[in-house]
Structure 1
Amino acid sequence: MLTVRLPEEIESRLNDLADATNRPKSFYVREALKRYLEDIEDIYLAESALEKFRASGEKAIPLDELERRLALED
């Protein structure tokens, strides 16, 4: 169980949405958290991969070179 205090404006918007859609407020809070967590997880994974790449000393390949190597040129 988690208790969260929301600013009045956000709580009002959440109440309005719940009333308009006949869904509980908890549904929208769960959905919002799920989407936000997915985005944050992606950001952390990308940052971690970038740090590993930089630490490896491997050279980056310019996009046009990569496209040429993979025969993706137009």
Structure 2
Amino acid sequence: MLTVQLNSRAEAQLQRLAKKSGRTVDEYAREALLQHLEDLDDIREATERLKEPSQIFSLEEAKRQLSL
């Protein structure tokens, strides 16, 4: 199990959202954390790909390759 400390503003915002929607604070926290982890993984992957110049295409090159 994971415990997370939030500042009072974030905690209050999360509680208001949960109360208005009928979902639990845990559901929103879990969803937000998972989404953020996915975003971080996407950023890491994009950063790695940018290190490989052969994998970088201009917009025009991409359009040509996709026959657009």
Moved more, 58-67 or 30-39: 58-67
| Structure 2 residue corresponding to 1:67, chosen from 39, 50, 63 | 63
Question: Quick check: 1:6 aligned with 2:2?
Answer: no
TM-score by length of structure 2 reads 0.80
**Once the two structures are superposed, what CA deviation does each residue of 1:6-55 show, in whole Å capped at 9, x if it has no partner?**
0100000111111112221000000001111111100101111111x14x
TM-score by length of structure 1 reads 0.74
**CA–CA distance in 2 between the matches of 1:64 and 1:8?**
49
**Larger radius of gyration between Structure 1 and Structure 2:** 1
Structure 2: 5+ residue stretches without partners: none
2:24 corresponds to which residue? Answer: 24
Matches within 5 A, 1:46-61: 46-51=46-51, 53-54=52-53, 58=54, 61=57
Q: How many Å apart are 1:70 and its aligned residue?
A: 4.3
Larger relative contact order (Cα-Cα within 8 Å, sequence gap ≥ 6): 2
Number of residue equivalences = 68
* Percent of residue pairs identical: 40
Structure 1: 5+ residue stretches without partners: none
